[in-house]
């Protein structure tokens, strides 16, 4: 579950192309894998691994802000009620560490809602001075409806806090980078709501300077082999529970109704979460006697058996809080229970409820006041127990017109917003229809510039992925594939490799279910590009071949050209240059006949790459130059920048170093403006190649390091190539 922060005086709540790699891809060396990078040589020393992380933070863009020291612990009451003994026990674990080291892992266990998170966060916050390098937090969602969090998700959050943002396909690589980063840092880590020891183990920093606290409903005895110590946390005593109630509703009120107060906390099972929720209900009705609340808590609720946690009657307190809501808040609460997102934004709240922002904000405030909702830095979320309650309430409207309309509004909002970003970032790609259930779509995002669109896509990546799955799971097949299609600039510029492939698998199935051949063609070619970029060339070729057969069956020459283009790229990557050239000549002819200027230019640009790969740069220059000219005229700024980068390679091969430098400088400026992080890394690498060709090895190393840092942030497979290039340079 999420943060059980209770138990104190207060409760806070057409398609992209893979860049050419050139002949250097054939260069191999003995290497060791470290956190998504490759370090040359057969032995890696721990000290040097830590030094590698400097590359992830060195030479940031001039405009990059300085990252603050992470202080991520969730808010807690100023004073915990009834937890003095627990805090003292935790102090002893730290004080008893051998040699006074801070290398301690404590597993705090207990029932849901007992206040494990509040206890752990309070303890670590009191010791903040011992962790000058940061205090980190991750909710592992051990009992969330959608299943536990992937450890890689938490690792990504930790690394981003220090300026590194890998999206690796290898948990082992990301975990290694995390251990390297943490090696010499004095940090505290709170791993909240863990599910299993296996989920926790990759997140342990393995540093003698780190303190880790794990909270879980389970015992996690498997962590004993990692040296963990265990601290069970029980429900509050009777006196502490009454004291907590008194601090929330007033000591005088409790003193006047001592018997009723004792009955309230008894029926709350002395569970801090339940006591706090009951107190919120009492405080909301100052004229109502505590005995009435005690009676309400004693009544059997219907349909909330899932909220019984290890025998504790949490469902009673949740129902009691729910019942004090007004009708508008009740409606919104039910509709929010439909959402699949762990955290949702105000925009999503407006969409699901069909509300204006001011009204949504007002209703959210009411839900927060009675502790049915938590406000986060990046949105809102339900505590896990409350999420179960909200989902149960959502079942009351899920299959009714009101519930179906709410789901349609949210999915349409994401589809319209992603399509608006697509129209700005990839105007030549938006050729397929959009089927909206809601007309017009209220409140869809509009973007003033490319940077704003890229930032939105980056922030919303996880929720967009959840929306795709949600659309498919709820039978909205057309929405599912169209949403994947609208996410094209996200895949192209941000390169989330695993999501690119997974989303297109869903989209391909959805397009078939919807019986939409145009959608299926798009999913096959876009998805094939993702497979190719991820190094799965043979599977990519299968997708492109299926698209080619379908396009020919349907008599769609432009779609046929797109499939041929994709096949050409798989041929080129595999070294089948003659086959690649044949596909591109045919694709260019089909696109030219169809009046597709941009597509024709892209096919000719790819042909120039084939000529370069074949060692014919003099022939490649006029082909690439013509493609660049046409892309500028379209205009297609992103693709024109790619053409400049490829043209720079040709000039470098010919020894025209000044002209190559001009091409790279212009391309780098364009890619940074477009937020194309992968191509920014690629151009920095090519600039290093140019410096090396000029004989300036110091400058070459500087550019390679800058490129490597960006590739590492993307967990791109290119890190191997860059690490090898750096290893072949003499030490500077």
pLDDT of residue 513 exceeding 70 = yes
Q: Tell me if 434 sits within 8 A of 419, measured CB to CB.
A: yes
Q: Tell me if 700 sits within 8 A of 727, measured CB to CB.
A: no
pLDDT on residue 50 = 39
Least confident of 78-87, 158-167, 433-442, 631-640: 158-167
Tokens of 656: 């025209």
Residue 714's pLDDT band (boundaries 50, 70, 90)?
confident
pLDDT, average across residues 516-525: 97
Integer angstrom CA distances of residue 560 from 260, 362, 400, 489, 566: 76, 53, 43, 22, 10
Quickly list H helices, 426-496. Answer: 450-459, 461-473, 477-486, 488-494
Percent of the chain with pLDDT over 70: 85
Between 388 and 6, name the one with better pLDDT. Answer: 388
Quote the Cα angle for 185-189-190, to 5°: 175
Between 364 and 317, name the one with better pLDDT. Answer: 364
Q: Tell me if 57 sits within 8 A of 709, measured CB to CB.
A: yes
Sheet harboring 211-216: ordered strands across? 135-139, 188-192, 211-216, 104-109, 229-232
Residue 25's pLDDT band (boundaries 50, 70, 90)?
very low
Closest CA to 348 of 363, 365, 336, 330: 336
pLDDT of residue 304 exceeding 50 = no
Instruction: Say which residues have a Cβ less than 8 Å from residue 647's Cβ, sequence separation at least 6.
Output: 608, 621, 624, 625, 628, 663
pLDDT tens digits, residue range 42-93?
A: 333 333 333 333 334 444 444 555 778 999 999 887 778 999 999 999 998 8
3-class SS of residue 723: helix
pLDDT of residue 593 exceeding 80 = yes
pLDDT tens digits, residue range 114-125?
A: 889 999 999 999
Least confident of 68-82, 242-256, 412-426, 682-696: 68-82
DSSP string, 124-161: HHHTGGG-TT-EEEEE--TT-TT-PPPHHHHHHHHHHH
pLDDT on residue 19 = 39
CA 694 – CA 658 distance, rounded (Å): 10
Residue 23's pLDDT band (boundaries 50, 70, 90)?
very low
Tokens of 204: 């342990």
pLDDT on residue 392 = 87
Between 715 and 439, name the one with better pLDDT. Answer: 439
Rounded to the nearest 5°, which phi and psi values hold at 135? -125, 120
Cα dihedral 47, 53, 59, 63 sign: negative
pLDDT on residue 713 = 82
- Cβ-based burial of 455 (10 A; exposed 0-12, middle 13-18, buried ≥19): middle
Residue 143's pLDDT band (boundaries 50, 70, 90)?
low
Closest CA to 627 of 613, 640, 617: 640
Between 516 and 144, name the one with better pLDDT. Answer: 516
Tokens of 495: 């390169």
Architecture label for domain 84-232:
3-Layer(aba) Sandwich (3.40)
pLDDT on residue 87 = 92
Quickly list H helices, 6-111. Answer: 46-53, 84-95
pLDDT, average across residues 616-636: 96
Q: Quickly tell me which residue has 């002209």 as its tokens.
A: 659
pLDDT tens digits, residue range 445-481?
A: 999 999 999 999 999 999 999 999 999 999 999 999 9
Q: Would you kindly state where each structural domain of the chain is located, as residue ranges?
A: 84-232, 327-398
pLDDT of residue 152 exceeding 50 = yes
Integer angstrom CA distances of residue 670 from 52, 117, 462, 569: 28, 46, 27, 24
CATH class, 327-398 region: mainly alpha
CA 666 – CA 677 distance, rounded (Å): 15
pLDDT of residue 414 exceeding 90 = yes
Task: Indicate if 327-398 has the same CATH topology as 84-232.
Answer: no
């Amino acid at each position: 579950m999420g943060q059980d922060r209770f138990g104190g005086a207060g409760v806070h709540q057409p398609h992209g192309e893979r860049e050419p790699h050139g002949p250097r891809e054939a260069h191999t060396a003995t290497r060791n894998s470290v956190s998504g990078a490759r370090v040359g040589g057969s032995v890696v020393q721990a000290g040097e691994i830590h030094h590698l992380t400097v590359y992830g933070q060195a030479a940031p863009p001039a405009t990059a802000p300085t990252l603050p020291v992470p202080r991520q612990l969730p808010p807690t009451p100023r004073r915990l009620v009834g937890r003095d003994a627990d805090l003292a026990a935790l102090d002893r674990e730290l004080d008893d560490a051998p040699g006074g080291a801070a290398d301690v892992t404590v597993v705090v266990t207990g029932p849901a809602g007992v206040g494990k998170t509040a206890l752990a966060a309070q303890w670590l916050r009191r010791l903040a001075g011992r962790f000058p390098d940061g205090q980190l937090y991750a909710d592992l969602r051990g009992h969330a409806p959608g299943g536990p969090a992937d450890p890689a998700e938490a690792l990504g959050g930790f690394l981003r806090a220090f300026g590194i943002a890998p999206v690796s396909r290898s948990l082992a690589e990301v975990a290694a980078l995390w251990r390297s980063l943490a090696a010499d840092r004095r940090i505290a880590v709170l791993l909240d709501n863990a599910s299993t020891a296996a989920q926790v183990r990759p997140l342990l920093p393995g540093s003698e300077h780190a303190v880790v606290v794990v909270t879980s409903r389970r015992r996690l005895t498997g962590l004993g082999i990692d040296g963990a110590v265990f601290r069970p946390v029980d429900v509050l005593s009777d006196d502490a529970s009454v004291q907590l109630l008194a601090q929330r509703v007033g000591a005088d009120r409790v003193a006047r109704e001592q018997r009723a107060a004792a009955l309230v906390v008894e029926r709350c099972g002395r569970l801090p979460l339940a006591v706090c929720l009951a107190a919120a209900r009492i405080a909301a009705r100052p004229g109502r006697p505590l005995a009435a609340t005690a009676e309400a808590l004693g009544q059997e609720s219907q349909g909330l058996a899932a909220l019984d946690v290890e025998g504790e009657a949490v469902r009673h307190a949740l129902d009691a809080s729910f019942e004090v809501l007004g009708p508008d808040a009740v409606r919104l609460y039910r509709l929010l229970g439909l959402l699949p997102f762990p955290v949702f934004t105000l925009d999503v709240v407006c969409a699901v409820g069909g509300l204006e922002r001011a009204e949504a904000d007002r209703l959210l405030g009411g839900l927060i006041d009675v502790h049915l909702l938590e406000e986060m830095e990046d949105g809102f979320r339900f505590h896990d127990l409350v999420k179960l309650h909200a989902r149960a309430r959502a079942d009351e409207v899920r299959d009714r017109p009101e519930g179906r309309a709410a789901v349609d509004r949210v999915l349409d909002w994401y589809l319209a917003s992603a399509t608006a970003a697509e129209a700005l970032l990839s105007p030549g790609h938006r050729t397929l229809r959009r089927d909206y259930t809601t007309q017009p779509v209220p409140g869809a995002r509009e973007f003033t510039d490319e940077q704003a669109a890229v930032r939105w896509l980056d922030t919303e990546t996880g929720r967009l992925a959840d929306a795709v799955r949600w659309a498919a799971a709820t039978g909205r097949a057309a929405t599912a594939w169209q949403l994947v299609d609208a996410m094209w600039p996200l895949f192209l510029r941000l390169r989330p490799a695993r999501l690119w492939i997974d989303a297109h698998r869903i989209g391909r199935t959805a397009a078939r279910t919807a019986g939409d051949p145009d959608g299926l063609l798009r999913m096959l070619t876009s998805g094939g590009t993702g497979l190719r970029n991820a190094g799965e060339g043979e599977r990519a070729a299968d997708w492109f071949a299926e698209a080619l057969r379908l396009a020919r069956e349907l008599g769609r020459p432009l779609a046929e050209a797109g499939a041929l283009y994709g096949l050409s790229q798989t041929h080129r990557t595999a070294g089948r240059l003659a086959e690649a050239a044949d596909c591109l000549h045919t694709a260019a002819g089909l696109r030219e006949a169809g009046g597709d200027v941009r597509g024709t230019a892209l096919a000719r640009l790819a042909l120039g790459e084939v000529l370069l790969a074949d060692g014919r740069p003099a022939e490649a220059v006029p082909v690439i130059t013509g493609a660049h000219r046409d892309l500028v005229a379209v205009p297609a700024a992103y693709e024109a920048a790619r053409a400049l980068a490829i043209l720079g390679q040709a000039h470098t091969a010919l020894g025209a170093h000044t002209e190559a430098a001009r091409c790279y400088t212009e391309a780098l400026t364009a890619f940074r403006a477009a937020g194309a992080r992968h191509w920014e890394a690629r151009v920095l690498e090519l600039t290093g190649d140019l410096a090396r060709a000029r004989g300036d090895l110091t400058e070459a190393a500087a550019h390679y390091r800058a490129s490597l840092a960006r590739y590492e942030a993307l967990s791109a497979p290119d890190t191997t190539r860059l690490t090898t290039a750096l290893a072949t340079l003499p030490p500077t």
